[in-house]
Amino acid sequence: MSNHDLDALKLFIFTFALWNISCTPKKESKQIDDQRPNIVLIIADDMAWDDSGAYGHPNIRTPNIDKLAKDGMRFDQAFLTASSCSPSRTSIITGLYPHNTNAEQLHWPLTPDKMTLVEKLKDSGYWTAQAGKWHMGDAIKDRFDVVYDIGTSGFQLAPDGSKAKQKGDGSGCENWVPLIKERPKDQPFFLWLAAVDPHRPYTDDIVAFPQNNEDVIVPLYMPDTEKVREDFVYYYNEILRLDDYVGQVVAELDKQGISENTLILFISDNGRPFPRDKTTLYDGGIKTPWIVKWPKSVKPNSICSNLVSAVDIAPTFLKLAGLEPLPAFEGKDFSRMLTSPEISIREMVYAEDHWHDYEDYTRAIRTKKFKYIRNFYPDLPNTPSADAFVSGTFTEMLRLKEAGGLTQAQMACFLTPRPNEELYDMENDPYELINLAEDRDYQESLVTLREEMKKIRRITNDSLPSFRTPDEFDRETGKSNSFRKRPRPSKKEMEKIIQNTTQSN
């Protein structure tokens, strides 16, 4: 080969290499000019939908949550798929109804075969991180770039499981702002910020200026006594602490100059930890605050009155990131509602109640007008969760029950058998006190919703389990039983439980 030919060959190789480099697509994670929104999901733990100023509570001091709503959009018909902590969270992250997550009972971990929205965001270039309460099992922790879980000791845990921070104040929020500070500056980010507030147990002196008994609004299905009000004050104070951390997150985003294109969604995992709220399918258990702030796209002071469900969050976040929702997702993309709140994406929502300290299997359909509840285990009373059972409120209810001092509505937790079906007019009876299931004037609505539930159960493969899980606590005394099956049982353990349950029946 001549020198001329050799030079020509070298030039060709050099030109081809340059062309190959320029035409090879770059990973989105390295594009500083990535204009997709940052996404911050803030999850309260056991907070009722209307316990903030943003939703009209006249006495709770929540200036930061209120400002989120003022600067963004408040959703007034937002619901969860479960009224229990871990099933609700695993449903949110997978975009599946709890009965399809393999984690439908309290403390059952997500199985590694389940896809989540997190790894899809991560693969597309998002930096993904979690801080606070985890409660979803270990199998999916590696889907995040960084996880600061709250350990059982109360210490913040580093991704390798070691103690990374000193014991915090109990809120679960201590690492929220540090996480934002440590984010890579050349990637959009997704943050899962999960509080422990206002979950029980409660302690004194957690805020400088606590609420007082006169601030409390007691729902009609609980007795209005001083002891009940004292219990509510503890709950309110934890909301105050949570509100302060929400404000710190917003302030840090502002300080970094990235608020304009950062979407914040504030929700709760289930309702307040009080009797007839948490672990029930009444609105006190499944209706959630749902506030979106995104200055780039969401108009301030806007309100959406159309239905959304927590199962809609995963497909929506992926859509906002320019990705297609997973085919397995059971929710709907609500992203268009953020700019056009008059758009309706669903006529009804579906919610579930499974084992949570006590056995149950209940389903509900909620429309704007009606709530339909089907109690599949009507022989079991609507016993509160274990933490609510030992609360000052339930202790007071037990005392008044013995004295004959509870109203019919306040006896709901003790009623057995429960009705097979419940129907409520949510516009005229928001506390769900008057069961219309046997009212002749509402039979058409009852039949329609009954058929809709059968349809949803068939489409989503929702069926009765093959056995009942034993209660962890005694329903009369609240004392712990010998049974304590927190993790999902193995196949062999399930067979033993089925055998024992069959023999006891």
Whether the upstream peptide bond of residue 198 has omega within 30° of 0, thus cis, is yes
Q: According to the model, what pLDDT value does residue 354 have?
A: 96
pTM of the predicted model as reported, rounded to 2 decimal places: 0.90
- Residue 425 has φ and ψ, to the nearest 5°, of -90, 100
209-235: per-residue pLDDT in tens? 999 999 999 999 999 999 999 999 999
Q: 246-282 burial, b if ≥16 CB within 10 A, otherwise e?
A: bbebbebbeeeebbeebbbbbbbbbbbbbbbbbbbbb
> What angle is formed at CA 388 by the lines to CA 500 and CA 99, rounded to 5 degrees?
50
**Residues contacting 189, CB < 8 A, separation 6+:** 38, 39, 126, 127, 128, 129, 183
- Specify whether the CB–CB gap between 439 and 422 falls below 8 A: no
CATH number for the domain whose boundaries are 362-479: 3.30.1120
337 in the Ramachandran plot: left (φ > 0), alpha (ψ -120 to 50) or beta?
A: alpha
pLDDT tier at 25, thresholds 50, 70, 90: very low
Q: What is the pLDDT of residue 467?
A: 83
Taking residues 31-51, report their average pLDDT: 91
130: helix, coil or strand?
Answer: strand
Confidence of residue 150 (pLDDT cuts 50, 70, 90): confident
Alpha-carbon distance of 84 to 106, in angstroms, equals: 7
Considering just the CA atoms, what is the radius of gyration of the chain in Å?
Answer: 25
Q: How many Cβ atoms are within 10 Å of 84's Cβ, its own excluded?
A: 29
The percent of residues above 70 in pLDDT, for the chain, comes to: 86
Lowest mean pLDDT among 27-31, 180-184, 346-350: 27-31
Query: Is residue 124 exposed (0-12), middle (13-18) or buried (19+ Cβ within 10 Å)?
Result: middle
Peptide bond into 417 cis (omega under 30): yes
The pLDDT, as a whole number, for residue 160 is 52
Question: Residue range 235-255: average pLDDT?
Answer: 98
Biggest CA pair distance of the chain: 110
Q: Once rounded to an integer, what is the mean pLDDT over residues 161-185?
A: 82
In this prediction, residue 154 has a pLDDT band, given cuts at 50, 70 and 90, of very low
pLDDT higher than 70, residue 198? yes
Q: How far apart are CA 283 and CA 270, in angstroms?
A: 10
- pLDDT tens for each residue of 368-404: 999 999 999 999 999 999 999 999 999 999 999 999 9
Does the fold of domain 362-479 match that of domain 29-346?
Answer: no
pLDDT for the residue numbered 34: 84
pLDDT at 469: 87
Residue 164 in this model has a pLDDT that exceeds 60: no
The reported pLDDT for the residue numbered 500 is 62
Inform me whether the pLDDT recorded for 495 exceeds 90: no
For residue 168, pLDDT over 90 is answered with: no
Residue 384: how many other CB atoms lie within 10 Å: 27
The pLDDT score that the predictor gives to residue 188 is 98
Give mean pLDDT, residues 270-277: 98
Does the pLDDT value for residue 342 go beyond 50? yes
Give the pLDDT confidence score for residue 499 in this predicted structure. Answer: 63
Residue 20 pLDDT more than 80?
no
| Per-residue model confidence (pLDDT) at position 505 | 45
For residue 337, what are the CA distances in angstroms to 45, 75, 289, 308? 26, 10, 16, 10
Which phi and psi (to 5°) does residue 343 adopt? -70, 140
| Tokens standing for residue 293 | 């702030």
Write the pLDDT tens digit of every residue in 446-489: 999 999 999 999 999 999 998 888 899 999 999 988 665 556 66
Residue 10 has pLDDT above 50, yes or no: no
Model pLDDT for residues 54-80, shown as the tens digit of each residue: 999 999 999 999 999 999 999 999 999
What's the whole-number mean pLDDT along residues 130-150? 94
Which one of 3.40.720.10, 3.40.50.1980, 3.90.1720.10, 3.40.50.920 gives the CATH number of domain 29-346? 3.40.720.10
Average confidence score pLDDT of the chain: 90
Strand intervals (E) in 355-471: 362-366, 370-375, 421-425
Question: Which amino acid belongs to residue 491?
Answer: K
For the chain, the domains span 29-346, 362-479
Residue 327, pLDDT above cutoff 70: yes
Cβ pair 97, 352 in contact under 8 A:
yes
Q: How far is Cα 220 from Cα 423, in angstroms, rounded to an integer?
A: 18
Q: How much is the pLDDT for 152?
A: 38
